[in-house]
Amino acid sequence: MRWRSPCRPLLLLSFLTLLVGRETVSGFRICSYNVQKFNLQKASNYRLVNTLTRVVYRCDICLLMDVVDPTGQAIETLMSTINRYDNYVYKSVSSNGLGNSKDGKQKYVFIYRTQTVNVTDQHQYETKPPTFFREPFAVKFQSRKTTIKKFILVPVHTEPTQAVQEIDHLYDVFEKVSKKWNNTNVMFLGDFQAACAHMTRLDKKKIRLFTNSNFSWLIGDKVDTTVSEDTNCAYDRIVVYGKTFLKAITPFSAKVYDIGKQLKIRKSKVKEISDHYPVEVKLKSSALLLQATPLLLLLLAHFFL
């Protein structure tokens, strides 16, 4: 007679729970971080780059803003450090230098994990005359790991003195890119300057991303995305369009990532990178593993039982 351990059904259940739970709970993380003039000088600071690497490596897609890197060497240095880790391979896609700041033109840079997502297209938004100081750079992504397979990320780093107008013009960007790619799964993310002196409650009435109920603001007005103890402002935001994209978001996953607290780093060191914290949100994982569960049950039941 074949001997059956009373513990084996429990082991089977635990094993399946581990597999299924890992796929459905972990999620797909999208991050956004204003790295405040990340240039070759910052990239030569080993400790700073190591900390930034730890932030980026948590994310399937990480947007970096205010990258002042005309030669591309600063991002190349960061990518080299990120890809020294063994588990994943990351690539980057970036805009051209934008704006006419005296400190140098800024780039939007997306760093993404190739095992979970890939870039299928990109588009530099432009108008004449320009409606943005640093015009948005739309990137179309595709992933088999998420419930929503194709989506568009559009970064924005508004100019403080014209934040209200620029945020309103994001509606025009939405119309342009959703029509271009026949896809309304659009997420805006970045440093909106959407708080404190730059945007008031009365200003919301002038902004179509607020007045149009199809847009959901995932980072609320009372969230502090700044490092300094002297400010309490929700500058950095994440906004999605439509019920389809909203349903693909893991509930309550949109938040600030407190680098100092999570990585146990002094606030002075955090400020060396930026006076902003990263913000993030998770997309729900695909149900591929759940669909395979009946087959797993049969195979593992034969093994364990």
Residue-level pLDDT, tens digit, the chain, 305 residues: 444 444 444 444 344 333 333 333 468 999 999 999 999 999 999 999 999 999 999 999 999 999 999 999 999 999 999 999 878 999 999 999 998 776 789 999 999 999 999 999 999 999 999 999 999 999 999 999 999 999 999 999 999 999 999 999 999 999 999 999 999 999 999 999 999 999 999 999 999 999 999 999 999 999 999 999 999 999 999 999 999 999 999 999 999 999 999 999 999 999 999 999 999 999 999 864 444 444 444 444 444 44
Q: Name, in order, each residue with C-beta under 8 angstroms of 300's C-beta and a sequence gap of 6 or more.
A: 12, 15, 16
| Angle at 206 (CA atoms; ends 202, 208), nearest 5 degrees | 125
Q: Is 278 left (phi over 0), alpha (psi -120 to 50) or beta?
A: beta
Query: Which secondary structure element, helix H or strand E, spans residue 289, and what is its range?
Result: helix 288-291
Pairing of strands 186-191, 236-241: antiparallel
Sheet holding 107-113, edge to edge: 90-94, 107-113, 61-67, 28-38, 279-283, 255-256
Six-digit token string for 285: 């994982």
Q: 244-265 burial by CB neighbour count: b if 16+ within 10 A, else e?
A: ebeebbbeebbbbbebbeeeeb
Distance CA 7, CA 82 (A): 42
Residues 110/139, Cβ–Cβ less than 8 Å: yes
Predicted TM-score of the model (pTM) = 0.86
CATH number attached to the domain at 27-304: 3.60.10.10
Q: Residue 189: name the closest of 280, 282, 90, 98 by CA.
A: 280
